[in-house]
Amino acid sequence: MTELRKRVTALDVAHAAGVSKTTVSYVLNQTPNQSIPAETRRRVLDAVRDLNYTPLSAARALRRGHNDTVLLVMPDWPLGRTLALVLDALAVELESQGLSLLIRRQHHGQSLSGMWRELAPAAVIALGEVEESEEEAILAAGIFAATALLTSPSSPRTAVVVPQDAIGALQVRHLAARGHRQLAFAGPGDPRFAAFRNLRLDGARRACEELGLPDPEALDVDPSLEGAIAAARHWLERAPRVTAVVAYNDEFAAALVAGLHQLGRSAPGDLAIIGVDNEPLARFISPSLTTVDQNHELVAAHLAQLVVNGLAGEPAPHPLHSDALTLVVREST
Amino acid sequence: MTELRKRVTALDVAHAAGVSKTTVSYVLNQTPNQSIPAETRRRVLDAVRDLNYTPLSAARALRRGHNDTVLLVMPDWPLGRTLALVLDALAVELESQGLSLLIRRQHHGQSLSGMWRELAPAAVIALGEVEESEEEAILAAGIFAATALLTSPSSPRTAVVVPQDAIGALQVRHLAARGHRQLAFAGPGDPRFAAFRNLRLDGARRACEELGLPDPEALDVDPSLEGAIAAARHWLERAPRVTAVVAYNDEFAAALVAGLHQLGRSAPGDLAIIGVDNEPLARFISPSLTTVDQNHELVAAHLAQLVVNGLAGEPAPHPLHSDALTLVVREST
DNA sequence: CTGAAAGCGCTTACAG
DNA sequence: CTGAAAGCGCTTACAG
């Protein structure tokens, strides 16, 4: 077993450079209104390099009252492709600003309060609704708070929006433009997806209403070949016959395409199908999938900007409308 | 603007409970060899609840010398499906043990040393090779170190293995069992994938050698329809003719399946194709993709176990062999 | 069974 | 231009 080596502290650097801890700190933090001669600065920096000194974030956090960390709290959602890409891009983006992203899931009954009080992050990003009193408490602790809602914001707060309802609406408008009137919605029955599913369905419903189309029938589908076959059969035999399906995502869409094929039918002739996520394999399905692409880079950049501006006391960036959403038209519709 | 509220500290709890900070700490940490009467304990716990007290991790970390955090350092790899799922499952697993997972990318030229010295985590997990001296330094700082290599370990260290070479070998053995002898490897030219690509190719090469098959030709393919068509044409016209392709992942495999279709050919008759990752859409490609599934839950559980055992001073769990790999046979081979 | 006190490694008024 | 000193909120020998 190797012997435990003592940590190199600012005091060690101070000694090596022949100055005090204070000066070391001033140099390293480039504290304003301190005029330290270049020569002294160089000596400190040399010592830092020679000793391989790194300030301990815990000590700094204790003194400053907060970390250089952004705490992202999310419900216990399954990690889909888009969410994973957004979070990854966000982490990279924040890192480039000297911030760490710490992602925590909030399981049922776990208190949000405990998480941020324990960590004392610079900012908290909540995915999904947060109680007003909780948000107040976060702000009162001097922590910047942002909320990433899945729907259009009801209040003009610091809420970034990744509007799931806009996805459903976009899907419906595309199908309507192709002449379809009798639509159906195919999504997961699993309650873990409910937050996303329900909002997409809502958006689809509202769009149908606006376009004067009948309300789309929502069906829980098992995204297997058998589940898809059953669903497709149901729609084809139904009166009035469904001619197009809004799928929860590309997996459901792909299952339906394959199911139709098994029935000797095909998209879009017998049933038009549109997915969401623009999975890498979506274009290689045959017929290739029409889908909605969520621009994860844009969403991540926006979230990062919101936090960075907030920490700097600058105004929030302009809200993301549906710019982050792109319709990718292929063969299945 | 809300007024800044002062933090609730252990001293506040002590006052409210009529005891000292010491006793509060003993109760909250269940410090061994302290016999605190149930009544006192209750008073402390009540005060904690009433005041909504949460210990500040930075203060605890400063005192203890380390955090309850696991630092995972990875190269600047693109986040593929399997990696994302492993990391997510690992985070969940560690959370259930009271540990946070902090993921950081190590960009070129960035020092690993700076990251762990700054954070003072309980453990460091490095994805990929780490210099011996660096690992020594981590250990010497009292931090548990684990390495998740992409290949079979050369030394009997605390290295978890996610053997990418075994994937390539598994692909080749399946194709060989189907009677194929003249194989090719299709992968990305993008150097960001090189670590994974090269190891899978190596594994494929070695398996061919063991089976007495000719060395597989490796081709950089653009995973688009056009790229796939060009590649497929090349293999079909080549002498000796290639009869089966080991694809880097399902995206490449799907592109090749689609490319063949465009050429009026099909898998597996004209060219057998096997992918990696078992993407949700892989079974809905037609013909459906044969692929290799990496059990991300198993890998994550193993990594978590390694860390937890390490922190508790217990021996490492038995190594993961290729148990985490499953061949999923479908129509494309 | 309980508490006073030291000390972890920083930052930052404050004094010179 | 520079440093001595206080203090952030914990944990833990140590003394009673």
| Cα B15-B18-B23 angle, rounded to 5 deg | 90
Per residue of chain A (333 residues), give pLDDT as tens.
456 788 999 999 999 999 999 999 999 998 887 778 888 899 999 999 999 999 999 999 999 999 999 999 999 999 999 999 999 999 999 999 999 999 999 988 788 999 999 999 999 999 988 888 999 999 999 999 998 888 876 665 667 778 899 999 999 999 999 999 999 999 999 999 999 999 999 999 999 999 999 999 999 999 999 999 999 999 999 889 999 999 999 999 999 999 999 999 998 999 999 999 999 999 999 999 999 999 999 999 999 999 999 999 888 888 776 578 999 999 999
**Nucleotide nearest residue A23, measured CA to C1':** D2
Handedness of CA A302, A307, A312, A314 (dihedral sign): positive
Question: What parts of chain B have a pLDDT lower than 70?
Answer: 1-3, 153-158, 321-322
* Residue B29 DSSP label: H
How high is the mean pLDDT of chain B?
A: 92
For B250, nearest residue in chain A (alpha carbons)? A281
How many CB atoms sit inside 10 A of residue A226's CB?
Answer: 11
Q: How many CA atoms lie within 13 A of A280 on its CB side?
A: 18
Q: Helix, strand, coil proportions of chain A in percent (round to 5)?
A: 45, 15, 40
CB contact under 8 A, B67 and A58: yes
Chain B residue numbers touching A57 (CB-CB < 8 A): 58, 118-120
pLDDT 10s digits, B74-85: 999 999 999 999
**Nucleotide nearest residue A56, measured CA to C1':** C9
**Nucleotide nearest residue B23, measured CA to C1':** C2
**Nucleotide nearest residue B29, measured CA to C1':** D11
Spatial separation of the C-alpha atoms in residues B35 and B55, rounded to whole Å: 22
User: With contact defined as beta carbons under 8 Å apart, do B143 and B178 qualify?
Assistant: no
B284, B285, B289, B297: best mutation site toward chain A, by most A Cβ within 10 Å? B284
Q: Which residue matches tokens 């068509």?
A: B229
The three-class DSSP label of residue B114 is helix
Which burial class, exposed, middle or buried, applies to B317 when counting CB atoms under 10 A from its CB (0-12, 13-18, 19+)?
middle
Any atom of strand D under 7 A from CB of B62?
yes
A101, A261, A281: best mutation site toward chain B, by most B Cβ within 10 Å? A281
pLDDT 10s digits, B89-117: 999 999 999 999 999 999 887 889 999 99
Question: CA-to-C1' distance for B187 and C5, Å?
Answer: 65
Beta bridge partners of B105: B74
| Tokens coding B98 | 């009271």
The three-class DSSP label of residue A69 is strand
Spatial separation of the C-alpha atoms in residues A267 and A256, rounded to whole Å: 9
Spatial separation of the C-alpha atoms in residues A183 and A114, rounded to whole Å: 45
Per-residue model confidence (pLDDT) at position B154: 62
Per-residue model confidence (pLDDT) at position B3: 65
CB contact under 8 A, B284 and A141: no
User: With contact defined as beta carbons under 8 Å apart, do A321 and A280 qualify?
Assistant: no
In the 64-123 stretch of chain B, whose C-beta falls under 7 Å of nucleic acid strand D?
A: 64
Nearest residue (CA) to C1' of D7: A63
Contacts of B145 (CB under 8 A, 6+ apart): B123, B124, B125, B126, B130, B135, B138, B139, B158
Per-residue model confidence (pLDDT) at position A62: 96
The partner residue sitting opposite B286, judged by closest CB among A54, A140, A258, is A258
CB contact under 8 A, A284 and B56: no
* Residue B290 DSSP label: B
For B120, nearest residue in chain A (alpha carbons)? A56
In the 9-28 stretch of chain B, whose C-beta falls under 7 Å of nucleic acid strand D?
A: 9-11, 21-22, 24-26, 28
Chain A residue numbers touching B281 (CB-CB < 8 A): 250-251, 254, 279, 281-282, 285
Nucleotides of C under 7 A from a protein CB: 1-5, 7-13
User: With contact defined as beta carbons under 8 Å apart, do B138 and A77 qualify?
Assistant: no
What b/e readout covers A239-271, taking b as 16+ CB neighbours within 10 angstroms?
eeebbbbbbbbbbbbbbbbbbbbeeeeebbebb
Query: Which residue in A27, A44, A28 sits closest to A36, CA to CA?
Result: A27
Query: What is the distance of C-alpha B132 from the center of its chain?
Result: 21
Phi and psi at residue A324, in whole multiples of 5°? -75, -5
